[in-house]
Amino acid sequence: MNKPKVFIARKIPKHVEDYIAEFCDYEKWDKDEFIPRDMLLKRIQDKEGIMQARVIIDEELLEYAPKLRVVSNISVGYNNFNIDAMKARKIIGTNTPGVLDDSVADLVFSLTLCTARRIAELDKYVKEGRWTATDDLNLLGTDIHHSSIGIIGMGRIGEAVAKRAKLGFDMEVFYYNRNRKYKLEEELGVRYCDFESLIKTCDFIVLLVPSTKDTYHLIDYKEFSLMKRNAILINASRGQTVNEKALIKALQDKKIFGAGLDVYEQEPIKSNNPLLKMSNVITVPHIGTATVETRANMASVAAINLVKALYGEIPPNIVPELL
């Protein structure tokens, strides 16, 4: 029996490649940068499966790949999928939830600590040969321990953040979610509250929601007007969940203390974006899962999803809309 043909559109670890080779006839893109769209379209024309990250799976791509049966995302998000187009062609789409929860939670706390204690700003200060920050009241940070944190979106990553906050920093943890997590409330002592109350009362506000029409600009001018002046916004979800113009205005007017951002409305972020000039903003380039261990685990899960689907088994992580 001929092995199914697949294209790997992202550099992956050797052991994952070896696993795919056992079951599939494959070609791969082995460069660090993303594959150019026109080159991708040429290379998938006879492929039954694609394993990739951040490739837009739309009508155009599907027209170029008439034999395609499976798209395996090396990510938990799948807003790159045109669900209707894939459904119409009965194409299976999978993702990699679960393996990245702790790494993203670590990043959330990295952003929290760095923003609150002004680490990047003070690192630059010392490297410029200055050493009077402790005497300058304008350079004082704010405490994380025993403060309050509001988590918007209490999924697996939210739960991992809540554990770090409660057990590591003695923080008062509030959350807002579509469904209450009674077991988590009992086990960890976190408290559910309504969205507006969370926005008004918490020192740190962490966004961990998916990008949907309901979460578009979830944090807007109104929400910033309700926040405490010492509030810090952490966004490790999707850039579209925050109105960036409203965020910039709130920071410029000192309506909030600062922001820690892993995601932006437009990625890559433009070099003239005012956020890049603000000392009270930490900006990192969408690196929530960017550790050697997590990326390897994600690639392994994506490979298993790909192979199982191609061989007629039910893969562990079909996205719900394509079940």
Among candidate residues 10, 238, 244, 295, the one labeled active-site is 238
CB 256 within 8 A of CB 229: yes
At residue 134, the pLDDT reads: 64
At residue 235, the pLDDT reads: 98
Q: Which residues of 244-279 are buried (b: 16+ CB within 10 A; e: fewer)?
A: bebbbebbeeebbbbbbbbbbbeeebeeebebeebe
Are 92 and 106 found together in one domain?
Answer: no
Among candidate residues 60, 63, 187, 267, the one labeled active-site is 267
What CATH code is carried by the domain that includes residue 74? 3.40.50.720
Are 160 and 209 found together in one domain?
Answer: yes
Question: For this structure, is 286 an active site residue?
Answer: yes
Residue 276 is part of which domain span? 101-283
Q: Is 98 left (phi over 0), alpha (psi -120 to 50) or beta?
A: left
At 148-197, the pLDDT tens digits run: 999 999 999 999 999 999 999 999 999 999 999 999 999 999 999 999 99
Are 86 and 144 found together in one domain?
Answer: no
At residue 309, the pLDDT reads: 98
Q: Which residues of the chain have pLDDT under 70?
A: 133-135
| Three-state DSSP class for residue 176 | strand
CB 190 within 8 A of CB 175: yes
User: What's the total number of domains in the chain?
Assistant: 2
Are 93 and 163 found together in one domain?
Answer: no
**C-alpha angle with apex 109: 103 to 110, nearest 5 degrees?**
85
Give the separation between CA 127 and CA 230, rounded to whole angstroms: 27
Are 167 and 306 found together in one domain?
Answer: no
At 285-306, the pLDDT tens digits run: 999 999 999 999 999 999 999 9
Among candidate residues 54, 117, 217, 286, the one labeled active-site is 286
- The position carrying tokens 């976190």 is 190
Are 19 and 146 found together in one domain?
Answer: no
Question: For this structure, is 238 an active site residue?
Answer: yes
Are 164 and 307 found together in one domain?
Answer: no
Are 181 and 210 found together in one domain?
Answer: yes
Question: For this structure, is 130 an active site residue?
Answer: no
Are 129 and 275 found together in one domain?
Answer: yes
